[in-house]
Structure 1
């Protein structure tokens, strides 16, 4: 496709899809396992062949595309937190991309983790989900979070005080950052979210129609 919003929309949908996990975890202590595992897998997919390849095909970001359309078209109260996490991670990522030392450290940590799980497929992630969550949370806390103002996570105190929930929230935010890096790489910019919302929504709708044909 020559449509310049094709890759931009896919990457932004990836950010949105990871962002929805944060309020799920913070308010219920759990989240959609399939989407969470897809988010983890995307973090380790650092040498993709295409934008779609980060998510193993556009069918895996169907939820993200749907949520993205909702975010850009409505100001509903339940969408506010998701939008805040999306914008927050876009902001952190813009600073992260200017910090080569931090990027190098993230790469090193991911390679070290990957070395423990040579075949980073869906089954491996499902089997070792908790250990991977803590490892990825460590990357977020140690390297990403100090770069900018911390993203305030809103939720129920009993869940926010749970160490595994905390780890999964940070791992989900790292998933947002991974997709945000991709978004900037394919030409994404903050002004598009102000002035090109319709173009992004139209492309998201077209991608959902494409997914419907695949299914």
Structure 2
């Protein structure tokens, strides 16, 4: 992915990020994810060599929930105040991750090691989520700033829920990597906000 990409494609990466993080929040609060949205997030982890930004997520239509969240954020209608903070933390974490080549290689190797299981069982199968959650715990969770997820202590006290949260965080980092590869930066939120909102609105129709 080294050609010039448009703001439209950058918006898809950002939508993938917030859509995954909304599921992190949902799982932390309720112990349950939306199955279709979870599958979109986890499938993206294994599409390392996708031919286009949209293909990472199985098509732009799969990102409608995330695009809606972005539109609400850019028009000051966001309902979850923690989501923007979580997104900022993941974007900052990804910058540290991108500079650590050894860790990046470990994460990519760990993902490839699970690719066969994901293809056979499904990317959101509990065994795959447990493995990817463990991979996140062994690697990215050691970087600073740590991504702190708040939620219901009843669910966050369960090992399977914690593993699922970490696995979805890995998917969020995947989207953050794509965002950076497409030239995205925090300056876009300040200097290109209208352009980004227009791209989001165009996708939503």
1:193 has 2:195 as partner: no
Instruction: Give the unaligned 5+ runs of structure 1.
Output: 210-215
Query: Structure 1 residue aligned with 2:47, among 38, 45, 48?
Result: 45
Residue deviations 1:102-150 (CA, integer Å, cap 9, x gap): 1100111111111344x36xx6235xx1111111111111111112121
Q: Deviation per CA, 1:172-215: give whole Å up to 9, x if none.
A: 11111000000000110011112222211110110111xxxxxx
Look up the SS of the partner of 1:141 in the other structure.
helix
- Cα offset, 1:162, TM superposition: 1.0
**CA contact under 8 A between 2:92 and 2:145: conserved in structure 1?**
no
Counterpart in the other structure of 2:6: 4
Equivalent residue pairs, number: 202
- Report the Cα offset of residue 13 of structure 1: 0.5
TM-score relative to the length of structure 1:
0.89
CA distance in 1, matches of 2:70, 2:148: 21
Of residues 178, 183, 196, the one that matches 1:182 is 178
Change (3 A) 1:65 1:75: closer
Partners of 1:72 and 1:85 lie apart in 2 by 16
Task: Output the TM-score relative to the length of structure 2.
Answer: 0.93
For the 8 Å contact 2:117–2:128, the answer to whether it is kept is: no
Residue deviations 1:60-100 (CA, integer Å, cap 9, x gap): 11111011111222265x42111111111100001111111
Provide the rounded CA distance (Å) in 2 between the counterparts of 1:67 and 1:116.
31
What is the alpha-carbon root mean square deviation over aligned residues?
1.6
Aligned counterpart for 1:167 among listed residues 149, 163, 184: 163
Pairing partner for 1:149 from 136, 145, 149: 145
**Cα distance in 2, alignment partners of residues 31 and 156 from structure 1:** 14
Please give the alpha-carbon distance, in whole angstroms, between the structure 2 residues aligned to 1:111 and 1:152: 27
- Give 4+ residue runs of structure 1 displaced > 4 Å after superposition: none
Deviations 1:140-173 (A, max 9, x none): 1111111212111111110110111111111111
2:25 is matched with 23
- Return the alpha-carbon distance in structure 2 between the equivalents of residues 197 and 79 of structure 1: 19
- Contact 1:71/1:79 (<8 A) preserved: no
